[in-house]
Amino acid sequence: MNLPGLKIGDRFVDLPIIQGGMAVSVSTAELSCAVADEGGIGVIGATGLSIEELKRQLQEARAMTKGILGLNIMVAARSFKEVVYESLRQKVDVIIAGAGFSKDVFGICKEWKTPLITMVSSVKAAKLAERLGAAAVIVEGRDAGGHLGTEAKTEDLLPAICKAVSIPAIAAGGFVDGKAISRVMALGAAGVQMGTRFLLSSECTVHDNFKELLLKSKISDLVRILSPVGLPANAIKTPLVEKLLAGDQSIRPDKCNGCLKHCSGSFCILDALKRARNGDYERGLFFTGSNFPAIKKILSVKEIIGDLMEEARACMNGGEVPVNP
């Protein structure tokens, strides 16, 4: 039995895999194009990029691949609409909106005839997204890296959401192997979104320190923080995180560039994520999905997707399962 492809609006990809759009230059053109070339949806994370940087990334990606490219943007970002319009001008194939809910983006994407996927964590949100015109929803549970909208596990949310909507529901939140793909598709998911699994790829351009930190850390190193965005998030415990959890006021920013619509000011998340991307252990904020310990080594995107598909098919066919996520 082969895995079905994934249809989002009028876009179709051979594999039911969306690469997570990790913000602040984690999901860039190189990574997204590698995933698109293998038959999944490659996604560029727009949050944290200037409009010029975003334009350059999208133009570079368009020149590198003929596959399907997505753009992920946080609704909580102040430049949300500007980013959406620029990505549409650059002919991105799919828009993915998370960390908030915006009714405006549905009309924008409809006008540009571009499928919109919204991140949801409840039946109510999924039904609203479908009613407003979403082409699909990404159902994200508590095990995802970064900002979270629920304390429920994805697999507990999926069945009810799949039953409540007629559009594709894509599972997200801590999935790193083919067993997870077969499991969520058996629950009704049309596909899976994976972020951390692709962060730990050779094509992801984050500093090696970031990758080494995830490979060496244990599950006990994962903690829940409250982001300045106002949402909980999963991150590796580092000196910055320890100060945040202790209520240390020294990490509050001296100035603010206003990147978010609403910000608690507990620390500058944009600067902290940039530092993580550049490998600064002391001052960086390292987001990760909770199942990162299952990933044992850095592989190419081609190898990762090959392993995912082989393992998923083996599980779905009841055969032997390779033991190397």
pLDDT in tens, 212-254: 999 999 999 999 999 887 888 999 999 999 999 999 999 887 8
Q: Is the pLDDT of residue 141 over 80?
A: yes
pLDDT in tens, 242-301: 999 999 999 887 877 766 667 777 878 888 999 999 999 999 999 999 999 999 999 999
DSSP 290: T
* Whole-structure pTM value: 0.92
pLDDT in tens, 20-64: 989 888 999 999 999 999 999 999 998 888 899 999 999 999 999
Domain ranges within the chain, ordered by starting residue: 6-205+295-314, 208-277
Q: Which phi and psi (to 5°) does residue 61 adopt?
A: -65, -45
DSSP H or E run through 171: strand 169-172
Inter-axis angle of helices 80-89 and 51-64, nearest 10: 30
Highest mean pLDDT among 15-24, 67-76, 143-152, 197-206: 197-206
6-205+295-314 is a CATH 3.20.20.70 domain: yes
DSSP 292: G
Q: How far apart are CA 215 and CA 228, in angstroms?
A: 27
Q: Is the pLDDT of residue 324 over 70?
A: no
